[in-house]
């Protein structure tokens, strides 16, 4: 394949999946810089596998699986390190104010506070539960897609989703975030 045709094939196959893949990277890592690094690493790997990618019926699922595997590999490398880097911080609320339907700065701040509370509650879940919840409920992946992505059987996914939702409900009820006693 020539360089130009390779670039065109890469654009045609991968570009339609950019938004979903970046959101997945964000959900997996929870930090902008790490999500960007993971996304970039995926693109580099995908370019190297372009000949295989051309023949795949559903490249989005294949790319998601590749990203998940890259994330797990990086997580394992990180766990083996003796010294850990300082994390960047919480998800920024930039962009909430001024959205269509934005009622007022006070309302926007309340919304941002709820997002932060939800993020804090999500961080209390185990990695497996948080991942299943974010993939299914936030990103809209189907159970079979999550199975393809993680290699976890659908029954286990359903169980983890149920337990994650119950635990999240308990956490949010305990601090009064969303539920009144």
First CA to last CA distance, the chain: 64
pLDDT tops 60 at residue 97: no
The b-or-e profile of 138-159 (16+ CB within 10 A means b, else e) is ebebebebbbbbbebeeeebee
| Highest mean predicted confidence (pLDDT) among 106-115, 121-130, 152-161, 168-177 | 152-161
Token duo for residue 62: 């294949």
Model confidence at 94: pLDDT above 60: no
Contacts 24+ apart (CB under 8 A), 18-27: 20/60, 20/64, 20/139, 21/60, 21/63, 21/64, 21/67, 23/139, 24/64, 24/67, 24/68, 24/135, 24/139, 25/67, 25/71, 27/131, 27/134, 27/135, 27/138, 27/139
Give percent of the chain with pLDDT exceeding 70: 81
Which range among 10-14, 85-89, 115-119 has the greatest average pLDDT?
10-14
Q: How far apart are CA 172 and CA 163, in angstroms?
A: 14
pLDDT confidence bin for 181, thresholds 50/70/90:
very low
Check residue 78 and give its pLDDT.
66
Q: Which domains does the chain have, with CATH numbers?
A: 3-80 (1.10.1740), 105-174 (1.10.10.10)
Contact (Cβ atoms closer than 8 angstroms) between residue 179 and residue 169? yes
Average pLDDT value for the chain: 80
In this predicted structure, the answer to whether residue 54 has a pLDDT above a threshold of 90 is no
Tell me what the mean pLDDT of segment 76-103 comes to: 50
- Higher-confidence residue of 54 and 71: namely 71
Task: Please write the tens of the pLDDT for every residue from 10-44.
Answer: 888 888 989 999 998 988 888 899 999 999 999 99
Q: How confident is the model at residue 179 (pLDDT cuts 50, 70, 90)?
A: low
Q: Give me the mean pLDDT over the 59-71 stretch.
A: 88
């Amino acid at each position: 394949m020539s360089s130009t045709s390779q670039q065109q094939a890469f654009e045609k196959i991968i570009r339609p999946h950019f938004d979903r893949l970046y959101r997945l990277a964000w959900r997996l890592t929870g930090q902008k810089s790490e999500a960007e690094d993971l996304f970039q690493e995926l693109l580099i790997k995908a370019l190297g596998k372009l000949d295989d990618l051309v023949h795949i019926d559903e490249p989005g699922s294949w790319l998601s699986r590749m990203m998940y595997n890259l994330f797990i590999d990086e997580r394992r490398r990180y766990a083996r390190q003796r010294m850990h880097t300082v994390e960047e911080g919480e998800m920024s609320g930039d962009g909430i104010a001024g959205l269509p339907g934005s009622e007022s700065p006070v309302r926007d701040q309340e919304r941002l506070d709820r997002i932060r509370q939800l993020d804090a509650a999500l961080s209390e879940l185990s990695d497996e539960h948080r991942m299943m919840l974010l993939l299914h409920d936030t990103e809209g992946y189907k159970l079979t897609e999550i199975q393809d992505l993680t290699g976890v059987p659908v029954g286990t996914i359903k169980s983890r989703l149920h337990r994650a939702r119950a635990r999240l409900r308990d956490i949010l009820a305990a601090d009064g975030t969303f539920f009144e006693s």
